[in-house]
Chain A
Amino acid sequence: MQKRFVYADNAATSPLSKEAFDAMKPWLTEKWGNPSSIYSAARDARKAVEMARADIADSIGAKPEEIYFTSGGTEADNWAIKSSAKAFGKKGRHLITSAIEHHAVSSSMESLTSEGFEITVLPVDKYGMVSPADLEKAIRPDTIFISIMLANNEIGTIQPIEELAEIAKKHNIPFHTDAVQAVGHIPVNVDELKVDMLSMSSHKFGGPQGVGALYIRKGVRIPPLMHGGGHERGRRSGTENVAGVCGMAAALKHAVEIMPEANAHLKHISDRLFDKLLQIPYTQATGHPEKRLPGTVSVVFNYIEGESIILLLDSKGISASSGSACTSGSLDPSHVLLAIGLPHEVAHGSVRLSLGKDITEEDADYIAESLTEVVDRLRTMSPLWKG
């Protein structure tokens, strides 16, 4: 087995696409105008920002004026949640979220508890699915905001957002979805999803890091998180990241164009990889068997620990990640894996491979062979393994 380099951590960050780089380059070299200034160089920058906004809006079925650029997915989530609490806090003090959110959502929610807000965290089933019936039951007269993610970053499960948002709509409660792992990977349309707010992050779909956006449906009014010079029509101050938003727009446009072909390929490779990995004894797949991101292959191996697996994979040229405690800096494994009902000791042995569109069958086979070897090696030295 010849060593090769396989990057399988696209859910952490994806390589910058050529399309994104080409769109960014002029704004990093010969053009540098501040879009808010009035001379011609600045007007070019303004045009570029507005074209990027229109392209991004088009990619998710929104209007350009509903797209607000941010520094990334985390800011978009923080803004949607904290500012909604501020805007609707007079109507009630109750918010609803799910047990498998990204920390940008769950920690933002948690920060509100010190201001007298109450948070209901909806459970998920063993596939990581939120039940619409549970949401319906959790809604109270004082519920003012709901945030449930579209696709999960660890196990790839895709939520029935249309159904969940429909329930919120019926009760006239604003609904936000963290779509950071979904945009650019699966078809996303804000009208079909019926969401009021949606967060996205450029570097998850081949754009640069440090830029993202919050979609805010027209008519939904939340105050700014960032105050300053009144950029983004007064709702998000800070000089626009011109190169960043141009790269983001180009990357998203390209990702949407190639999506049907890329996803068919990713599905084929993921199935192949799952088949091989599940041949390893005491191994199980996590996430929903069908309603899942096509490039996410998430598994748990019993009797061994995830960080060790990741380090040994790295020595074989493979970049992947784990939800084990040791990779999170705490001693508890990922809240997502615990929420789907895995015992702590099993959750410690998790591996997530998030594949990129350029992955080949040979890469997948190399990952499978390497993992088989690594798992065997770690089990041999594990006191829990009695094989």
Chain B
Amino acid sequence: MMYSDKVLDHFQNPRNVGEIEDANAVGLVGNAKCGDIMQMFMKIEDDKIVDVKFKTFGCGAAVATSSMATELVLGKTIDEALQLTNRAVMEALDGLPPVKVHCSVLAEQAIRAAISDYYKRQGIDPEPIVGKIEEVDHDHEIACD
């Protein structure tokens, strides 16, 4: 299995790692049982993502896709961020090995989960805007796929 130089760079020097203390949008996706969890923190002002940080438990690709996803949404409007696809994250990283594609899906979901949280905090039902987000379930057996 080979990682591209870009994946290795984003893994070894991840961009935007950490937490945002006064974040107004926080999303958590993935499952420790399956080996990856991503947490996305955002500061959204006037519909714009003015700051974004992440924390990830997972493999090299999980870290690299999280890092790349934060770069791709920083400074973007919510609408623009919601356009981000896992494919775009993969392309920006010069591709991923087939067994690692799910990491890019998780990165896309982490962005959506954070934005979903942003709407919830304002009493707005996020589902019509963001779509359905799989909740992280710590208490039940789940199947990894």
Contact = CB atoms under 8 A, between A and B. Distances in A.
A333 B59 CA distance: 12
B115 interface: no
A308 B39 contact: no
Contacts of B92: none
Contacts of B56: 381-383
A307 B64 CA distance: 13
Given A305-B62, A307-B59, A331-B144, A383 B39 contact: yes
Interface string B1-37: 1000000100110100110000000001000111111
B1 A329 contact: yes
B69 interface: no
Looking at A326, A332, A380, the one whose CB has the most chain B CB atoms below 10 A away is A326
Nearest to B67: A381
Nearest to B57: A382
Contacts of A205: none
Contacts of A315: 12
Contacts of B8: 311
A381 B144 contact: no
The range of chain B's interface size is 20 to 34
A214 to B, nearest CB: 31
Nearest to A322: B59
B145 A331 contact: yes
Interface string B58-86: 11111100000000000000000000000
Counting chain A residues whose Cβ lies within 8 A of the other chain, the interface size class is 20 to 34
B49 interface: no
Contact of A348 (B12, B35, B63, B100): B35
B55 A382 contact: yes
Given A311-B8, A331-B144, A345 B58 contact: no
Given A315-B12, A348-B35, A384-B37, A308 B60 contact: yes
Interface in A308-348: 308, 311-312, 315, 324-326, 329-333, 343-345, 348
B134 to A, nearest CB: 15
Contact of B59 (A324, A343, A381, A383): A324
Nearest to A381: B17
Contact of B33 (A311, A345, A383, A385): A345
Nearest to A310: B60
B42 interface: no
A256 to B, nearest CB: 36
- B interface majority secondary structure: mixed
A312 B11 CA distance: 9
Contacts of A308: 11, 58-60, 62-63
B12 A326 contact: no
B14 A381 contact: yes
A304 interface: yes
Nearest to B40: A383
A308 B59 CA distance: 5
B99 A329 contact: yes
Contacts of B58: 305, 308, 326
A111 to B, nearest CB: 23
A215 interface: no
Given A305-B57, A305-B58, A383 B63 contact: no
Contact of B32 (A311, A332, A344): A344
Contact of B37 (A330, A344, A383): A383
A113 B139 CA distance: 35
Nearest to A326: B59
Contacts of B12: 311-312, 315
A79 interface: no
A145 interface: no
9 contacts: A305-B57, A305-B58, A311-B8, A325-B34, A383-B39, A383-B55, A383-B57, A384-B37, A384-B57
Interface of B: 1, 8, 11-12, 14, 17-18, 28, 32-39, 55-63, 99-100, 102, 144-145
